[in-house]
Structure 1
């Protein structure tokens, strides 16, 4: 398979650290020093998980040069659907005028890579030639705006990728190695508790486990591909915060110049973070044909998911 197009969408409203410091006991220096985050985009009236996902999908299709009618499958990774039923994928398909099957994947911050895995596998079905994979979350809907421990960390947004079937020949673009895993003993480290309305988080423990999970998963995917960190041209992990990304890259042995860091203006956008980072890297000219890209997500659960692939755009 190959990634034929990428798209991104974020809400209009930009909320800086200085804006948060006006009502919370925090500061720009404190937030930047601990997370690398300077601002985030927060959904306003009429900006929903569905609308953000649909816009990202629309832009990804335009980037791929494909009409909506070409799409056979829509997968949306989200932990913040607008409604429990029907799926966000169905609502996105309706907004885009698609006649395609689809379903949602709730893997929180690892959701996009889970959905990517799923779409790549389903492309082996001869009835599916084009899959639209979207990560979209409106975490502002489940974050307590008065909790400085979480309000500073999260933003809203959506990113999308168009996957198409390619020729299975040596040197062709596609998945080189994968890894899926998890540690359910950490389920309470980041969760919306039963009966609760907002996310609760054990920040220090999440930092430790997230870093370990990213390193273990990245190493496993590279090992299955017969590759090492030296073979990675670009590392695109979940954009939780700069310290986790830096620690994971350092332990993997991937130098800073090969790491995509996209948290400064977007913060942690959960399932949207990886496709947003990929789209930003593409715009910056950092993704080139033949590049070997390590994409790794980790999220609430704790669950992790990694894809090591050869790029062709």
Structure 2
């Protein structure tokens, strides 16, 4: 059965028959790949239908083909389609070994740099709804609130970026349910989180060092400074191998010598970036000195 037969007007009230065809799926997959690097294999046809159908209705289009014609011309609507097809599953202290390494190895190095009057820059690339970013910030600040407040007065900044505006807004709000913060270590929670009415928020002090930006990782990067650590985890699993290699090389080139790259559990560094990066732990890479 073709997609055109499987997805009929009964599944999308108010539109014409033949609403979604194989050609429509392929056209959307090509547009999303060109815009964001995300690969949508044939098995994602149902996912594309379920997430794009509401946009077809909202735009007042009668078929997916009509909507595809719209997003080819309308950059804002095309971005809505990309956002809808971006997966944003994450949670606090996901892949905990990364934060253990950051606390035990990276953080002492960063504190030494700050003590020497140097700047520290960190990047949560593909930050989604913010759980990774805030896990990183809490680990950096530590359980000693007094010491953490002293650190906040130094030249330290965290960039949190994502392609999807709606998850960036939630990340910047920095407010989660009790269930969502269950994996935050008690000492860090006591120091930097506050509870009110069943919701838990990151303190205003901790939020002050984070800058949230909408950024397509395949586009231009306006940042001028090198980073001391970059977290980009479970983002590249949606990219094809050539795109992954190009992106990892760009990350490596943006790390200062001695800096660390943290990637997802099923991701690997391959290609030209291997000349710059040395693996120092499970999915943890160290930028070689110049």
Q: TM-score, normalised by structure 2?
A: 0.30
> Of Structure 1 and Structure 2, which has the larger fraction of its residues in strand?
1
Q: TM-score, normalised by structure 1?
A: 0.28
Task: Tell me: higher relative CO, structure 1 or 2? Use CA pairs within 8 A at least 6 residues apart.
Answer: 1
